A = this chain, B = another copy of it.
């Protein structure tokens, strides 16, 4: 696969384009996310940890770090802060003292559900900016190629964790 020939120029153009497009979209996602959770006195990392713990029962800090794409220390430190606020419980397993597991408390679960209920798709720039594509195709775009690239970068288990959390969204909050 790696022996497939491609020109330097072709790869520079592709890399530059992908950098611009993903930066553009991610920065807007980040901005929307901050606006959305501001009333709850949470930052994006903290909310992301709540989200991951909500969707994945008995998740470890290293899984949070992987799915949240944050350093293990970031995942750990923000989980600690959430624990101080009584929103999560951190624990170790008897047979595995090395890993720390994150679990929502009832209060954490309620707060998370509240944030999700307050999420207004009309205020979500990415949803709004995708409506013309949705009209054309009948659905929001699938972005299978992006998924393939993310799978190559982060491994099949990243996509697996993502799909597990997406399938939970399919149930009601």
Contacts and interface: CB of A to CB of B under 8 A. Distances in A.
Q: Please state the number of chain copies in the assembly.
A: 2
Contacts of A125: 153
Interface-central residue, A22, A122, A131, by most chain B CB under 10 Å: A22
A148 B132 contact: yes
Nearest to A146: B21
A158 interface: yes
Contacts of A21: 143, 146-147, 150
Contacts of A153: 24-25, 28, 125-126, 129
Interface string A9-53: 111111111111111111111000100000000000000000100
A12 B134 contact: no
A162 interface: yes
Interface string A102-135: 0000000000000010010110111111111111
Given A9-B170, A135-B4, A127 B15 contact: yes
A51 B14 CA distance: 15
By DSSP majority rule, is chain A's interface helix, strand, loop, or mixed?
helix
A158 B14 contact: no
Nearest to A66: B24
B20 A162 contact: yes
Nearest to A161: B20
Contact of A158 (B16, B24, B141, B158): B24
Top-5 shortest CB links A-B: A129-B152, A11-B121, A26-B26, A14-B140, A22-B26
